[in-house]
Amino acid sequence: MNPRHLAIVRSTLATLAPAADDVARRFYKRLFELDPRLRKLFKGDMSDQGRSLMAMIGAGVAGLDRMETLRPTLAALGARHRGYGVRDLHYAVVAQALLDTLAVALGPAFTAEARVSWTEAYGVLAGGMRAGARIGLAS
């Protein structure tokens, strides 16, 4: 990943850290607006789910410059998500929900370059998960 883009993703994520619970709530609200059928994939407490989401994003972003170590984790995560019912087409909906959420949460700090940076980061992370889902790794 482009080092400048990685720095932008990391700095904007750090900005969001104090409001992580709110960001997660906004993300899921937007996700279910975009595709209400996805709601049935979530069985547990959405607050817990939101904390897990933000932790996963944080870990993924932290590892973007160490893909050799991150790749197996992403593959296993993708395989688990496949087991939950996540399909390849859902990744585009998640991308849109994420970008929409970041635009609201970051406001003017979500510049065109920040959008490109997050799009690139999501593409790398989702690509690793999709690869794991295709080969069916389980962890």
pLDDT, position 138: 46
Write phi, then psi, for 33 (nearest 5 degrees). Answer: -70, -40
Dihedral (Cα; 41, 26, 112, 75), 10-degree rounding = -30
Q: Please indicate whether residue 50 or residue 43 has the higher confidence score (pLDDT).
A: 50
Angle of helix 20-34 relative to helix 46-62, nearest 10 degrees, comes to: 100
Band of residue 74 on the pLDDT scale cut at 50, 70, 90 = very high
CATH superfamily of 3-135: Globins (1.10.490.10)
Tokens at 64, concatenated = 């973007």
Angstrom distance (rounded) from CA 105 to CA 90:
22
pTM: 0.93
C-beta separation of 57 from 115 below 8 A: no
pLDDT, position 135: 83
Q: Quick one: which H or E segment has residue 84?
A: helix 67-84
Residue 44 per-residue DSSP state: S
Task: Give yes or no for residue 41 having a pLDDT over 50.
Answer: yes
Task: Give yes or no for residue 136 having a pLDDT over 80.
Answer: no
